[in-house]
Chain A
Amino acid sequence: MSYVPHTDADRADMLAAVGVERVEDLFHDVPAACRFPELVLPEPLSEMELMAELQAMSEENLDTGHFSCFLGAGSYNHYVPRIVDQIISRSEFYTAYTPYQPEISQGTLQSIFEYQSMICALTGMEVANASHYDGATATAEAVVMALNASRGKRKKVVLSPWLHPEYRQVVRTYTQGMGLEIVGDEVGDGAPGLDAVAALVDKNTACLIVQNPNFLGQIQDLSGLADQVHAAGALLGVVVEPVSLGLLKPPGELGADIVVGEGQGLGNGLNFGGPYLGFFACRQKDVRKMAGRLVGETVDTEGRPGFVLTLSTREQHIRRERATSNICTNQALCALAMAAHMAALGPTGLRRMAELCYHKAHYAAQEVGALEDYQVLDDAPFFQEFVVRCPAPVADINRYLLEEWGILGGYDLGRDYAHLQNHMLICVTEVISREEIDVLVEALEEAGREVAA
């Protein structure tokens, strides 16, 4: 089965029209020594057999539909209304490509325009693009944009140590050929405030990137930060979590120059880490320095409104080596899912969803914090994640939770922060019930006794 419709008669007719005897004759330009290799691959299967095999393979996993999961750390288990999958399963959306022919791509174009509008509303910014691969690459593109904004004169980048560790790694990967000084990790041993980070911004700094809520789930007070950064002539980039923006003040109102984030939490499932989407927003004055596709409104020859890809002179297919980025294919269908979820919720629904996460996480923190062997870090307000100091290594606690209680425990912060060994990041979203929280608390208490002993 290779989904080809050609009958033997078709092949014969077509080969005759082309003027060759055998289909192999079409490949005479391929060096003979390498032509037609014998590929060693599994034998093909029927759809029925393959689905059975895939079903079995998928059931080798422990999934969040069957196990309580308290992991977050950049990937969040939220309830996605069924209508979202119905929308993105429309063939007209998912089997189309980049809207190169706007007259027959108005559906994709208008849906991106609406997505851009909702991202601007959510972040409090003026312009948003059609999406990036994920939150980490959007962050890297924000850094690149800031470097370009200084015309390459500023060679230093400050990353908060409380920015997602993988985002910091991706920024380093993207910029490894640019000769930059990337700082910020070294202030990570203290309290996760922003003063020490902001103090690193100087006249050679292109940008400061902070995350809110930060990687530890804490809500940071960003007021005054933008002024401090701007005084040094640098740009402020803020990485945000979109559900939290149902509740929290958007960075656009706090003077941020670039706002990016991982959009997965709205409209997109866990999917073992992808596909997700990075959203990216900036100020109107910086729009020409922005990477990625943009949709704008215009009119057709009869004056009817319509949408097109615009400002493409920034992009690789026109500007080639002088483009703002090489990005072309992004995560359009994931952006459609996010937009559909935002529209389904509206302002009231998103606020209620954010508050549900907030209240449940706080209930969990209160109950876990009441355990004798555990201590919740409470030096800052938090959103849907909080840090707990455990009486034993997190990996050991989690193994106990899984084996004895069937719970997928929280994230081990010791993986990324030397001073946070035995610290667990617990995430509670609206999909976790009070009963599941109570079971977690009981399980943690027992794990504390059994594992630490």
Chain B
Amino acid sequence: MKADFGVRCSGAEPVIYELSKPGRMATTLPEPDVPPAELPPQALLRDGLDLPEVSELDLMRHYVRLSQLNWAIDIGFYPLGSCTMKYNPKVNEAAARLPGFAGTHPYQDVHTVQGNLLLMYELQEMLKEIAGFAGVSLQPSAGAHGELTGVLIMRAYHVARGETQRTRIIVPDSAHGTNPATTSMAGLEVVEVPSDERGNVDLAALEAVCGDTVCGLMLTNPNTLGLFEEQLPQVIDLIHGCGGLVYGDGANFNALLGIARPGDLGFDVMHFNLHKTFSTPHGGGGPGAGPVGVAEHLVPFLPGPIVELCECAEGECDCGCGHDDEMDEDAVCFHLVMPPKSIGRVKSFYGNFGVLVRAYTYIRMLGAAGLREVAEMAVLNANYLKSQLAGVLPVSHGRTHMHEFVAKGIIEGAPDVHALDIAKRLIDYGFHPPTNYFPLIVPEALMIEPTETESKEVLDAFAQALRSIRDEALTDPEILHEAPHTAPVGRLDEVRAARQQVLRWQGE
């Protein structure tokens, strides 16, 4: 089974500006139904505007053809480690497009958007329950945005207690690059700690950097090696013991749904990636959503607004919704509130609402048992696939893995073959390559996350492809070096891109 992009789209698609012809337009606009007003002075107006001019059919064909140059979950296996490329259910899309949700303005009076607030409130409650936290803010737009939010919350907590000297954030060397980058954005200092030979945080090294200048630890668990931290209680005790807080990077939370609650494990704060764990589409690079959950002591610092149940049903509030008059026992009313010591707003309005609707839909479809099944099958799939690669590629850290594992793109007898070659050759076999060259601490890393929505047949076919590639590496390594052979383009010259910097269309 080999992919052949060529049959779907022959050759490159011109840049849309190349399709442009003056006088064409792909949409219609109404004639004004009001008398025209005098325009502002000419000095304030623009002269020209270099947008493409295309017909509606040109436009549709252009984007359909471009789409055919893409790999996607709906085409085939996409085992991109740490990205949780699971199936994106179609009911989620229908839910987010319901006109009653999609057609509401963020500044409408809260009494006119109670359906939205009910959904957000219930999502807050469900995420609290799933992860064991006391409070959730749905504001952040993505994982990295949630990280920034979480680190600012930790900082604000210490500042509020007068411990302004706590400026250091401990980050394991297996961490995503976002962790140290986030730390710097928050105006804090990164302290890196190594991993031990079993892939855990090195406890002695951790203990050595603990002290009263520690703001907190950022810990991805399971970590980017796909391993659950074996000494997690000791790690968390060390940090709490020196007065620090523990941040959980929720990128890998898919492995823990119904298995363990980070709040129970001792984490103080964690972000969720709704576009990973909760099946909302990745969109080619967003929009995602990165809500943040916190333990009790951090609830006052959450970014707002968050949704709260109003007490008007008990006659405690004069919000004007009318429920207090009606004394309807089932009446509920939701408000948007800013927590008392909030770090502030992290974006405008209330989070990526359309993404929240999708995640809510997913959780309601699955229920508690369904969520646990997600984690169980994600972990079974990863361990099964790993078992099928025995003797094909070495795997880092011979422990039970969680939702993903890191193989090494090292083939004995083919020293010139690298992880990159294996990754590119997988494209010819009809698979998206794993994440490669990450985590940085594993040489020739191929980080493989199958997710729970893939079948045994797909995993078997993927393992078979890697076996074939291993054989090719020994007999015909050039076919790997020159891969991919069936993609719309071959390997691209990244050095040239960085040197010449053609970053926009500048004409023929």
- Asked if A102 and B142 make an inter-chain contact with CB atoms under 8 angstroms apart, the answer reads no
Contact flag A61-B113 (CB < 8 Å), given A96-B71, A284-B501: yes
Answer yes or no: A191 CB below 8 A from chain B CBs.
no
Residue picked from A110, A133, A302, A334, most chain B C-beta under 10 Å: A133
Nearest B residue to A434, CB-CB: B33
Chain B proximity of A179: nearest CB distance (Å) = 7
Q: Which residues of B contact A451 (CB under 8 A)?
A: none
- Interface Cβ pair total, 8 Å cutoff: 676
Complex formed: what's the CA distance from A112 to B16 in Å? 11
Answer yes or no: A228 CB below 8 A from chain B CBs.
no
Q: Which 5 A-B pairs have the closest CB atoms?
A: A273-B349, A177-B187, A58-B100, A60-B115, A273-B106
Q: Which residues of B contact A103 (CB under 8 A)?
A: 424, 427, 484, 487-492
Stretch with Cβ within 8 A of B (4 or more), from A192-200, A229-237, A350-358: A350-358
Answer yes or no: B181 CB below 8 A from chain A CBs.
yes
Q: Which residues of B contact A77 (CB under 8 A)?
A: 105
Residues 270-298 of chain A: 1 if any B CB is under 8 Å from the residue's CB, otherwise 0?
11111111000000100100000111111
Q: How large is the interface on B (under 10, 10 to 19, 20 to 34, 35 or more residues)?
A: 35 or more
| Chain B interface mostly | loop
Complex formed: what's the CA distance from A262 to B188 in Å? 29
Q: How large is the interface on A (under 10, 10 to 19, 20 to 34, 35 or more residues)?
A: 35 or more
Complex formed: what's the CA distance from A50 to B367 in Å? 12
Stretch with Cβ within 8 A of A (4 or more), from B257-265, B291-299, B468-476: B257-265
Q: Which residues of B contact A26 (CB under 8 A)?
A: 376, 379-380, 383, 400, 402
Q: List 17 A-B contacts (CB under 8 A).
A: A17-B388, A36-B258, A61-B116, A95-B282, A136-B347, A176-B155, A176-B187, A262-B348, A272-B105, A274-B141, A301-B482, A305-B12, A328-B143, A329-B143, A343-B62, A348-B25, A402-B109
Nearest B residue to A125, CB-CB: B504
- Asked if B91 and A274 make an inter-chain contact with CB atoms under 8 angstroms apart, the answer reads no
Stretch with Cβ within 8 A of B (4 or more), from A163-171, A201-209, A368-376, A441-449: A163-171
Q: Which residues of A contact B500 (CB under 8 A)?
A: 296-298
Complex formed: what's the CA distance from A276 to B141 in Å? 10
Complex formed: what's the CA distance from A41 to B130 in Å? 8
- Asked if B107 and A2 make an inter-chain contact with CB atoms under 8 angstroms apart, the answer reads no
Q: Which residues of A contact B383 (CB under 8 A)?
A: 18, 26
Q: Which residues of A contact B29 (CB under 8 A)?
A: 349, 352-353, 356, 430
- Asked if A37 and B132 make an inter-chain contact with CB atoms under 8 angstroms apart, the answer reads yes
Chain B proximity of A177: nearest CB distance (Å) = 3
Interface residues of B in 40-82 (CB under 8 A from A): 40-41, 43-46, 48-54, 56, 59-60, 62-64, 66-75, 78, 80
- Asked if A83 and B26 make an inter-chain contact with CB atoms under 8 angstroms apart, the answer reads yes
Complex formed: what's the CA distance from A382 to B350 in Å? 28
Q: Which residues of B contact A137 (CB under 8 A)?
A: 141, 145, 346-347
Chain A proximity of B459: nearest CB distance (Å) = 8
Residue picked from B78, B98, B101, most chain A C-beta under 10 Å: B101
Contact flag A45-B15 (CB < 8 Å), given A57-B115, A93-B70, A347-B50: no
